[in-house]
Amino acid sequence: MIGEQATLKDNSEIDNNFIKSVSQHDEARQGEALVLDTKAPADGRKLFIESYGCAMNFSDSEIVASIMGDMGFSTTPDYKEADVIFINTCSIRENAEQRVRNRLKEFSAAKTRNPGLTIGVLGCMAERLKSKFLEEEKLVDLVIGPDAYRDLPNLIGQVEDGNRAVNVLLSREETYADISPVRLNTNGISAFVSIMRGCDNMCSFCVVPFTRGRERSRDPLSIVQEATELFSQGYREVTLLGQNVDSYKWTSTESENQQMVNFANLLELVANVSPELRVRFSTSHPKDITDEVLYTMAKHENICKHIHLPVQSGNSRVLELMNRTYTREWYIDRVEAIRRIIPGCGISTDVIIGFCTETEEEHKETLSIMDYVKYDFAYMFTYSERPGTLAAKRYRDDVPEDVKKRRFNEVLSKQQECSAIRMEERIGQTCKVLIERYSKKSDQDFSGKSDQNTTVVFNADSRYKPGDYVNVLIEKCTPATLIGRIVD
């Protein structure tokens, strides 16, 4: 679905999970090697794992590392010393396939020096490209889909026996609820917690239902247990992950005392782990986010006041073609509910520019809804056809590339205006910030997040350390960062 994206306009502090409105979608993390903080044992087998795409993929890599850890593997940041190399792939971006192929060719060169090296492709790209990677180009030894990671010991064994191995079967039950993820590249402060897998929405531009399967929710008790364990280990923020968290629904199997837990209930359960544990979530769907969720957020101080609410388009006809199942009016109603129930809540979004048959007037409706909402930040993409999607089968990608590029620049400019307004509104306010680390630019400054998921940089103080909460008076801002000082 993705073509051109917003490009980085500012050298300020950058959030590793959500890049702000004037910047691109976290290119820094695409292809980042994921490793443990601890040193690998000198005589053990080593795993190098590189992840692309969304937070769900990075979370999945932590599950894979846990399974491989049980097999005796530790992680390494250097693929040249690895016994197994995995790329956890993403099918969302148009150029993802070529980028992965180029990386695999680089890894294949390492195999000439180490014939025992195993190379595998994981995740969303596995099903569609398994034959090409395994048989045609012979770039990999192993291909495994996102629901088959438990089969890794068997697949690794097949490769060690001299065979190529593949398992891309999707599941209606798998949630990996009983697997404790190995936290990779962690700051020890923030962690992802997956609450569900798959998606039932079938947006016409999206490949996720085909690559990750049908929606299924994880047992809430296992989620609360994971959050509790993270808190006991010193983590102070969890982000609950799902393709559509608002449709989370779990029903107990006990026939005598059957209980149903929805997303609002789950949010409260996790918030009650400790008032010192911040709770975030991503991503919400406009058709499903309820007032019950909003009131739960308002009730608990430690549930962060930020909602990522993808609009995709501001025009109802285009939304219908996208199969988003809501209208412009419905979306505005949800925004108004957020503003009413949670004053000051940060709202971010996704925008697709130049979807099939989009007219100039419909494009202007996207600009107008951005003016209305004034998003804190946004991911902005020009539409590009993804194989196998409903849009690819039914609609012609008929908006010329030069028109897409011009509209994209207009959307980017509009979001820059909106972001500037939201950032300047924060000047003079005091916000509670969780210290995550020292600033990338100076060890004289701390860096952390506001409730609204904005990066805040402020003076370091010997009384505090990463993992502590402080009150910060915002004194100025850049396009992507709030700057202030600690106040008592």
pLDDT value at residue 33: 53
**pLDDT of 433 strictly over 50:** yes
User: How large is the average pLDDT for residues 233-246?
Assistant: 95
Q: What is the pLDDT of residues 402-413, one digit of tens each?
A: 999 999 999 999
Query: How does residue 38 score in pLDDT terms, banded at 50, 70 and 90?
Result: very low
CA 257 to chain centre: 35
CA 411 to chain centre: 22
Residue with tokens 């595998």: 120
In this structure, which amino acid lies at residue 249? K
Q: Residue 84 forms beta bridges with which residues?
A: 47, 118
238 within 8 A of 303, measured Cβ to Cβ: no
CA dist., res. 485 & res. 445, Å (int) = 9
Q: What is the pLDDT of residues 376-389, one digit of tens each?
A: 999 999 998 988 89
DSSP structural state of residue 135: I
Q: What is the pLDDT of residues 310-357, one digit of tens each?
A: 999 999 999 999 999 999 999 999 999 999 999 999 999 999 999 999
User: How large is the average pLDDT for residues 359-386?
Assistant: 96
CA distances to 432, 438, 457 from 441, in Å: 22, 8, 10
Q: What is the pLDDT of residues 90-125, one digit of tens each?
A: 876 666 777 888 898 889 888 888 888 999 999 888
pLDDT value at residue 209: 86
| Domains contained in the chain, CATH given | 36-167 (3.40.50.12160), 190-424 (3.80.30.20), 430-487 (2.40.50.140)
358 within 8 A of 400, measured Cβ to Cβ: no
Query: How does residue 8 score in pLDDT terms, banded at 50, 70 and 90?
Result: very low
pLDDT value at residue 208: 87
pLDDT value at residue 41: 46
Q: Which residues contact 357 (CB under 8 A, 6 or more apart)?
A: 318, 321, 395, 396, 398, 399
pLDDT value at residue 94: 63
CA dist., res. 401 & res. 409, Å (int) = 12
196 within 8 A of 130, measured Cβ to Cβ: no
Residue with tokens 């003076």: 459
pLDDT value at residue 215: 94
Q: What is the mean pLDDT of the chain?
A: 88
Look at 129 and 486; give whichever has higher pLDDT: 486
**pLDDT of 42 strictly over 50:** no
Q: Which residue from 289, 237, 240, 216 is spatially nearest to 55, judged by alpha carbons?
A: 240
Query: How does residue 401 score in pLDDT terms, banded at 50, 70 and 90?
Result: very high
Q: Which residue from 486, 452, 55, 485 is spatially nearest to 278, judged by alpha carbons?
A: 452
Phi and psi at residue 470, to the nearest 5°: -140, 155
Interstrand relation of 142-144 and 430-438 (parallel, antiparallel or unpaired):
unpaired
CA dist., res. 426 & res. 440, Å (int) = 22
Q: Residue 289 forms beta bridges with which residues?
A: none
Phi and psi at residue 114, to the nearest 5°: -135, 85
CA distances to 150, 378, 470 from 66, in Å: 10, 33, 34
Interstrand relation of 260-262 and 249-251 (parallel, antiparallel or unpaired):
antiparallel
CA dist., res. 52 & res. 279, Å (int) = 24
User: How large is the average pLDDT for residues 125-138?
Assistant: 76
127 within 8 A of 168, measured Cβ to Cβ: yes
Look at 445 and 91; give whichever has higher pLDDT: 445
pTM (two decimals):
0.86
Q: Which residue from 105, 95, 109, 149 is spatially nearest to 126, judged by alpha carbons?
A: 149
Q: Which residues contact 31 (CB under 8 A, 6 or more apart)?
A: 50, 51, 52, 99, 103
In this structure, which amino acid lies at residue 49? I
8 within 8 A of 23, measured Cβ to Cβ: yes
pLDDT value at residue 462: 92
Q: What is the pLDDT of residues 194-210, one digit of tens each?
A: 999 999 999 999 988 88
Neighbouring C-alpha atoms within 13 Å toward the C-beta of 412: 19
**pLDDT of 43 strictly over 60:** no
CA dist., res. 270 & res. 277, Å (int) = 9
Q: How many CB atoms lie within 10 A of CB 83?
A: 17
pLDDT value at residue 256: 57
Q: What is the pLDDT of residues 143-190, one digit of tens each?
A: 999 999 999 999 999 999 999 999 999 888 988 998 988 888 778 999
CA dist., res. 59 & res. 230, Å (int) = 14
pLDDT value at residue 210: 85
Question: Percent of the chain having pLDDT more than 90?
Answer: 69
